[in-house]
Amino acid sequence: MEKLFQDRRDAGRRLARRLQQYKAAKDCLVVALPRGGVPVGFELARILHLPLDLCLVRKLGVPFQPELAMGAIASGNVVVLHDYLIRDLGITRHQIDHEIELESRELARREHLYRDGRPAQDLSGKTILLVDDGIATGSTTEAAIRVLRAQGVARIVIAVAVASPAALQRLSHLADEVVSVLKPPALSSVGEWFNDFLQVDDGEVTRLLAESHLLRPSFGSPNAK
């Protein structure tokens, strides 16, 4: 059995060892998926001397089984739906629209809170290291990729702590590169691969983003500490 992560920051450090070719790379940014991807992305950005930004995505849960994703939404009115799952479970258009409305409100709330007046960075022509703590179905990551492509990014590298083989295979056709530290043959829960998998709250997200913003003058210098 592969070694578990101590916590999300440990996952970021282990990802950094696999992504050294991007250290202080020009026109390269770390883009994290809140909330769990932010501590991973913060550590990755710190070690590689890269700026950190967000891509806000919300899972659309099945109405009678919220933990199961029937799709996802992202900034820019992007909607990704798993049509086969919706059909098999008999989910109605009304139920889908209701979930989209609820999650859209939460998406807007987080956008306002997390950025704290700081504008989103211009990603056009950039290489993006798209970071999360784990990928089970891949629906939120797929939505994020669509958002980034719409912004004209040059290259997308998925950088994740742990992911299911099925999700990795599907996402490999959407991204330019996929890097996962752990690739268990079966992934029932992302949290089982971490010793510490405490929920990341809004306060931690805003704190890490603010800290990363303060560190930004040192980014781009290979000798920065």
Contact indicator for 55, 130 with CB cutoff of 8 Å: yes
User: What is the C-alpha R_g of the chain?
Assistant: 17
**Chain Cα centroid distance, residue 123:** 15
Domain extent listing, the chain? 8-58+121-218
Largest Cα–Cα distance in the chain? 57
Rounded Cα distance between 197 and 200, Å, is 9
- The pair of structure tokens assigned to 211 is 């800290």
pLDDT of residue 111: 85
pTM to 2 decimal places: 0.84
The pLDDT tens digits for 36-61 are: 999 999 999 999 999 999 999 888 99
Residue 72 in this model has a pLDDT that exceeds 50? yes
Rounded Cα distance between 9 and 100, Å, is 31
Q: Is the preceding omega at residue 87 within 30 degrees of 0, hence cis?
A: no
Q: Which residues pair with 81 in a beta bridge?
A: 71
The pLDDT tens digits for 82-105 are: 898 999 999 999 999 999 999 999
pLDDT of residue 2: 64
State which CATH number among 3.40.50.1000, 3.60.15.10, 3.30.565.10, 3.40.50.2020 fits the domain covering 8-58+121-218.
3.40.50.2020
Q: E strands, the chain, where?
A: 28-32, 52-54, 57-62, 65-74, 78-81, 127-135, 155-163, 177-182
- Report the chain's mean pLDDT, rounded to a whole number: 89
Q: Which helix (H) or strand (E) holds 32?
A: strand 28-32
pLDDT-based confidence at 225, cuts 50/70/90? very low
The pLDDT tens digits for 148-196 are: 998 899 999 999 999 999 899 999 999 999 999 999 988 888 999 999 9
